[in-house]
């Protein structure tokens, strides 16, 4: 690893470019350890003297001089790894690569990885009574809390039996820690050891009575009663979602008896050895791979009680194949994880996915894969089964993953005839048996071509089978296809047959659908492509569905086979002018951009400046009755919205590319991962710079700076935020300057650099004053007050907060955050009664659902703390529990503190 690295979770270590640096023993080492235990936070000289020379008769003047010399020697020893900075009347360690920071960042999301950072007893090579008395025990408590979280996670994943030995050891090592006893009781009960679980309760009850003269806490007593009653909730896996994602079974599925039997045998052999069976159904386009996979999956779904997942990998979509990273995101969402709970890193996604499926039996349908590399990260392991469809035989999976390959051919002639009969009626096929067989041969016995030809006959009841055979047999028609492969020619011929049978409007709708970045349409979006009202678009789409040229996979939601989509795009290229194609794409982008604008307006989190494009009046947009409907629409369209940003950039629609990202700001803050923010605004930055649009460039840099801050990459965050601020100054965008100054201040506040945060918040307040925007002014005033709270200056905090509060009251927009700041200031002054009353107001009359996960969690946590201090523990508990759920959902660094509060309130 390049650069400086610091470690305190074990012996104190400092490395530079991977090589250890010797830190002198004695007070220099204790000084560094003291600062590292409070990373990026100011520690006063007086406190350092008290801790390092505890009990020493040194005079104050002599001690201060000795401290300066100790710091100088330490800096010299650290050399290029020096992290000690001087501040007014004190010092701080400015560090980023510190194992303690990584531990806290991982604690809420990946407790396994967090615990792996520990190398032994904390600071075992540091001689300091103060550290080992005051600081180390707190850190050990943090570790135990994360260990409890890890065990809870493992219990939720069905690993009860293997946890029993570990929990017996932990209860012996920490006999007064009731949470470990509770987890031991649950693990024993889930391991079919009810008597042992009850015995564990008796053991801890006796121990607490002997040692402390008390009874077990309410939670432990309640668990004991639940075990006595054998309540079913005890055996339920926590946070377990049973997905049911299989596409609808194809009506009139015909034949494939031997192939279905082969799949049944593969599944049975997999069950006998409890190994993964990967059935890669290989075959050319249109041969019916997906239909067979879906039909078989429905037949055997009862053998997968933990659910069925399905993902279209779009492997043969040359412009937009699904990456393993994005596919894992879809799978994790299917397993109940929200976007904010899904890790940004691909390897972490793989680990989370396989952990969720460990000891569960789930069928995973991976449709339309191109290569083994696309599939391998998605294999579930354990007792689950992956069913993969591909035009390739995926030899890499056979070689390395023991895949069993079923090579799917065309239908036998008799089954092809049977399929035609199911669609058009056996009375017609029986009346013309030879012509029906000839039609099947002309369709190369390909199910896709057969269904399209049959749908054409079904729509023309007076047309003889012979007449259709004559049309398909014309040499001119096949010559037009310019394809040598008979099967592909059969598919193209069937496509052309259905296409030419359509009316002009239906033909044009089919063509323009091929211009969209993905085959997923609503009547509004399809209407935008064609330039017609959504009602007319719906009628046209349903006509195409009857011809099997699109599929209505859910009410008023249409998709398209990838071969049909390719054919539609080719038709559009040949039959639509370049100007017409471009106009269709712009209308499609405008539909989504203006729908996003309406969604943004419905969510009172961030008021984006009006940056929408002019749109054709024919383009209809989604409207939302309230913020719930707006967020629901964004979540439904999540993948498409981010793909549209990339599509717009690739197609040269640069204005749409950055404006789509900008119009998602509220949705991103409320419901998306930090990776989503980076993805959208990396595209926006590229588009802005190509356009030479300085306003857009500043917007993108600002949001990328926030993403870096959220990753705790503070140097990068500061650089991008300052670059965006400089642009806003150059173009005279005062509102943007105010926003940039506030975000810079927030970045410093996160690092504990309060003086710098105060400076930038004051500048933000001034810029808002100059704009005349009272809401912005009050918001930054509130942030300024909160910084004073963090700095311990409660008198100043109250004065500023009351000004902000008054301004917001005049605007009738008092926010929970403003009330939280004022309450925190009152609590800091010791007036917990007034603070508690403010929190009651927040919880009773101010909705917290639309201010972002982090502020929600912080306000609930603060309120629970104040209510507890005011003596209202039972009132505090539900708010603390809600704060914990949000902190865990958002993978926030405050998880350990909130969990401890919940535990204290419960006990």
Q: Would the pLDDT of 396 be above 80?
A: no
Its CATH class, for the domain covering 815-907, is mainly alpha
Distances (CA, A) of 562 to 486, 549, 647, 790: 19, 11, 18, 56
3-state secondary structure 337-395: CCHHHCCCCHHHHHHHHHHHHCCCCCEEEEEEECCHHHHHHHCCCCCCEEEEEECCCCH
Phi-psi region of 252 (alpha: psi -120 to 50; beta: other; left: phi over 0): left
Mean pLDDT of 652-665: 94
493 or 648: whose pLDDT is higher?
A: 648
The predicted pLDDT at position 486 comes to 45
Q: Would the pLDDT of 553 be above 80?
A: no
The predicted pLDDT at position 683 comes to 96
For residue 16, give the H/E element and its range.
strand 13-16
Report residue 358: phi and psi, to 5°: -60, 135
Tell me the chain's radius of gyration from C-alpha atoms: 33
The predicted pLDDT at position 235 comes to 67
d(CA 320, CA 105): 33
Mean pLDDT score of the chain: 85
DSSP structure class, residue 314: -
Q: pLDDT (tens digit, 9 = 90+) per residue, 668-685?
A: 877 777 888 999 999 999
745 or 815: whose pLDDT is higher?
A: 745
567-599 per-residue burial string, b: 16 or more CB within 10 A, e: under 16: bbbebbeeebeeebbebbbbbbbbbbbbbbbbb
The predicted pLDDT at position 490 comes to 53
Q: How many CA atoms lie within 13 A of 362 on its CB side?
A: 31
CATH architecture of 504-576: Orthogonal Bundle (1.10)
Portion of the chain with pLDDT greater than 70, in percent: 90
Query: What is the pTM assigned to this prediction?
Result: 0.59
d(CA 219, CA 216): 8
Is 708 in contact with 685 (CB distance < 8 Å)?
no
Mean pLDDT of 184-191: 89
Is 494 in contact with 442 (CB distance < 8 Å)?
no
Q: Would the pLDDT of 270 be above 70?
A: no
Neighbours of 876 (CB within 10 A): 25
Range of weakest confidence among 334-338, 388-392, 471-475: 471-475
Q: pLDDT (tens digit, 9 = 90+) per residue, 686-738?
A: 999 999 999 999 999 999 999 999 888 999 999 999 999 999 999 999 999 99
The predicted pLDDT at position 239 comes to 47
The predicted pLDDT at position 866 comes to 94
Distances (CA, A) of 871 to 590, 867, 875: 55, 6, 9
The predicted pLDDT at position 529 comes to 96
Mean pLDDT of 540-547: 86
Six token digits for residue 53: 């020379």
The predicted pLDDT at position 189 comes to 86
The predicted pLDDT at position 604 comes to 60
d(CA 855, CA 892): 11
The predicted pLDDT at position 37 comes to 94
d(CA 735, CA 728): 9
d(CA 854, CA 851): 8
Q: Which fold has domain 4-138?
A: Arc Repressor Mutant, subunit A (1.10.10)
Closest C-alpha to 381, from 355, 345, 347: 355
DSSP structure class, residue 787: H
Six token digits for residue 254: 């015909």
DSSP structure class, residue 234: G
Q: Would the pLDDT of 610 be above 80?
A: no
Say which residue the tokens 């029906």 belong to.
436
d(CA 794, CA 827): 9
The predicted pLDDT at position 816 comes to 85
Mean pLDDT of 434-452: 83
CATH 1.25.40.10 fits 159-235, yes or no: yes
Q: pLDDT (tens digit, 9 = 90+) per residue, 47-84?
A: 898 888 887 766 667 777 888 889 999 999 998 889 99
Q: Would the pLDDT of 473 be above 60?
A: yes
Say which residue the tokens 């004073």 belong to.
788
What are the start-end ranges of the H helices in 406-533? 413-424, 426-431, 433-442, 447-459, 465-473, 475-481, 486-500, 504-513, 523-530
d(CA 335, CA 816): 32
Q: Would the pLDDT of 607 be above 70?
A: no
Neighbours of 26 (CB within 10 A): 14
Q: Is the dihedral of CA 502, 506, 508, 513 positive or negative?
A: negative
Superfamily of domain 257-407: P-loop containing nucleotide triphosphate hydrolases (3.40.50.300)
Closest C-alpha to 671, from 581, 772, 586, 600: 600
3-state secondary structure 559-577: ECCHHHHHHHHHHHHHHCC
Is 686 in contact with 649 (CB distance < 8 Å)?
yes
The predicted pLDDT at position 483 comes to 34
The predicted pLDDT at position 8 comes to 95
Mean pLDDT of 160-164: 83
Most confident of 168-177, 211-220, 496-505: 168-177
Q: Give the pLDDT band of residue 391 (cuts 50, 70, 90).
A: confident
Q: Give the pLDDT band of residue 271 (cuts 50, 70, 90).
A: very low
Neighbours of 215 (CB within 10 A): 11
Rounded to the nearest angstrom, the gap between the alpha carbon of residue 82 and the centroid of all alpha carbons in its chain is 37
Helix or strand or coil: residue 282? strand
End-to-end CA distance of the chain: 44
745 or 284: whose pLDDT is higher?
A: 745
d(CA 761, CA 803): 15
Residue span(s) of the chain under CATH 1.25.40.10 come to 159-235, 815-907
Distances (CA, A) of 132 to 6, 67, 139, 140, 354: 19, 20, 10, 11, 39
The predicted pLDDT at position 238 comes to 45
Residue-wise DSSP of 751-768: TT-HHHHHHHHHHHHHHH
Q: pLDDT (tens digit, 9 = 90+) per residue, 475-527?
A: 433 333 333 344 445 567 667 767 887 899 999 999 999 999 988 899 999 99
Residue span(s) of the chain under CATH 1.10.10.10 come to 4-138, 504-576
Q: pLDDT (tens digit, 9 = 90+) per residue, 870-895?
A: 999 888 988 898 888 778 777 777 88
Q: Would the pLDDT of 160 be above 90?
A: no
Q: pLDDT (tens digit, 9 = 90+) per residue, 293-304?
A: 998 998 888 778
Range of weakest confidence among 385-394, 604-613, 854-863: 604-613
d(CA 716, CA 708): 6
Our CA angle for 440, 443, 445, nearest 5°, is: 60
Q: Would the pLDDT of 471 be above 90?
A: no
Closest C-alpha to 529, from 610, 598, 580, 588: 588
Exposed/middle/buried for residue 101 (C-beta within 10 Å: 0-12, 13-18, 19+): middle
d(CA 734, CA 776): 11
């Amino acid at each position: 690893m390049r650069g400086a690295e610091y470690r305190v979770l074990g012996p104190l270590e400092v490395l530079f470019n991977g090589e250890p640096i010797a830190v002198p023993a004695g007070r220099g080492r204790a000084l560094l350890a003291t600062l590292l235990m409070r990373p990026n936070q100011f520690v006063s000289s007086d406190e350092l003297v008290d801790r390092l020379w505890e009990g020493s008769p040194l005079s104050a003047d002599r001690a201060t001089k000795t401290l300066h010399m100790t710091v100088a020697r330490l800096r010299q020893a650290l050399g290029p790894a020096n992290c000690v900075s001087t501040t007014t009347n004190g010092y701080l360690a400015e560090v980023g690569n510190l194992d303690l920071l990584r531990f806290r960042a991982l604690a809420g999301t990946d407790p396994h990885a967090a615990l792996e950072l520990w190398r032994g007893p904390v600071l075992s090579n540091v001689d300091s009574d103060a550290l080992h008395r005051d600081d180390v025990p707190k850190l050990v408590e943090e570790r135990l809390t994360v260990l409890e979280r890890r065990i809870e996670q493992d219990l939720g994943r069905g690993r009860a039996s293997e946890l029993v030995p570990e929990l017996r050891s932990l209860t012996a090592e920490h006999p007064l820690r009731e949470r470990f006893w509770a987890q031991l009781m649950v693990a024993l009960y889930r391991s079919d050891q009810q008597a042992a679980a009850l015995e564990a309760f008796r053991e801890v009850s006796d121990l607490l009575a002997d040692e402390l003269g008390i009874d077990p806490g309410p939670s432990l007593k309640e668990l004991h009663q639940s075990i006595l009653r054998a309540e079913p909730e005890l055996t339920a896996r926590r946070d377990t979602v049973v997905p049911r994602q299989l596409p609808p079974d194809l009506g009139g599925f015909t034949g494939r008896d031997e192939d279905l039997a082969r799949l049944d045998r593969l599944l049975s052999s997999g069950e006998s050895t409890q190994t993964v069976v990967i059935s890669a159904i290989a075959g050319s386009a249109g041969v019916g791979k997906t239909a067979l996979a879906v039909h078989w999956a429905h037949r055997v779904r009862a053998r997968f009680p933990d659910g069925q997942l399905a993902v279209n990998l779009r492997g043969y979509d040359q412009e937009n194949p699904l990456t393993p990273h994005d596919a894992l995101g879809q799978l994790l969402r299917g397993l109940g994880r929200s976007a904010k709970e899904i890790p940004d890193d691909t390897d972490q996604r793989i680990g989370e996915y396989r952990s969720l499926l460990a000891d569960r039996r789930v069928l995973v349908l991976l449709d339309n894969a191109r290569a083994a590399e696309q599939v391998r990260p998605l294999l579930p392991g354990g007792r689950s089964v992956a069913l993969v469809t591909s035009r390739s035989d995926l030899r890499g999976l056979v070689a390395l993953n023991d895949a069993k390959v079923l090579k799917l051919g065309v239908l036998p002639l008799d089954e092809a005839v049977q399929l035609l009969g199911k669609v058009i009626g056996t009375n017609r096929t029986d009346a013309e048996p030879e012509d029906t067989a000839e039609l099947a041969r002309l369709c190369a016995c390909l199910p896709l071509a057969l269904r399209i030809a049959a749908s054409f006959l079904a729509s023309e009841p007076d047309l003889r089978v012979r007449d259709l055979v004559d049309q398909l047999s014309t040499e001119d028609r096949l010559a037009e296809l310019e394809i040598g492969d008979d099967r592909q020619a059969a598919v193209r011929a069937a496509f052309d047959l259905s296409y030419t049978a359509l009316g002009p409007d239906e033909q044009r709708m089919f063509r323009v659908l091929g211009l969209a970045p993905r085959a997923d349409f609503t009547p509004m979006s399809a209407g935008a492509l064609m330039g017609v009202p959504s009602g007319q678009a719906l009628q046209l789409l349903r006509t195409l569905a009857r011809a099997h040229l699109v599929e209505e996979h859910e009410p008023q939601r249409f998709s398209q086979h990838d071969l049909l989509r390719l054919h539609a795009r080719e038709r559009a290229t040949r039959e639509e002018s370049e100007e017409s194609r471009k106009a269709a794409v712009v209308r499609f982008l405008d539909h989504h951009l203006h729908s996003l604008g309406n969604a943004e307006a419905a969510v009172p989190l961030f008021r984006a400046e009006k940056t929408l494009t002019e749109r054709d009046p024919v383009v209809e947009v989604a409207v939302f009755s309230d913020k719930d409907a707006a967020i629901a629409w964004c979540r439904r369209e999540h993948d498409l919205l981010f793909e549209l940003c990339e599509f717009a950039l690739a197609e040269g629609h640069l204005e749409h590319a950055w404006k789509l990202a900008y119009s998602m700001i509220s949705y991103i803050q409320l419901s998306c991962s930090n990776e989503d923010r980076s993805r959208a605004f990396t595209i926006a930055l590229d588009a802005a710079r190509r356009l030479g649009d300085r306003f857009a460039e500043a917007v993108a840099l600002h949001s990328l700076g926030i993403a870096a801050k959220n990753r705790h990459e503070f140097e990068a965050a500061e650089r991008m935020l300052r670059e965006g601020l400089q642009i806003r100054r150059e173009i005279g965008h005062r509102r943007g300057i105010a926003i940039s100054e506030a975000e810079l201040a927030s970045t410093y506040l996160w690092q504990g650099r309060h003086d710098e945060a105060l400076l930038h918040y004051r500048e933000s307040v001034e810029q808002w004053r100059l704009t005349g925007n009272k809401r912005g002014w009050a918001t930054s005033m509130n942030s300024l007050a909160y910084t004073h709270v963090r700095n311990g200056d409660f008198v100043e905090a109250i004065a500023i907060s009351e000004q902000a509060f008054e301004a917001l009251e005049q605007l009738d927009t008092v926010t929970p955050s403003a009330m939280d700041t004022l309450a925190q200031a009152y609590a800091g002054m010791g007036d917990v009664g007034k603070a508690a009353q403010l929190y009651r107001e927040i919880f009773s009359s101010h909705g917290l659902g639309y201010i972002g996960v982090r502020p929600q969690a912080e306000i609930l946590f603060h309120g629970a703390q104040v209510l507890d201090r005011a003596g209202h523990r039972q009132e505090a508990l539900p708010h603390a529990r809600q704060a914990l759920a949000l902190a865990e959902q958002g993978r926030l660094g405050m998880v350990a503190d909130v969990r401890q509060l919940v535990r204290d309130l419960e006990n």
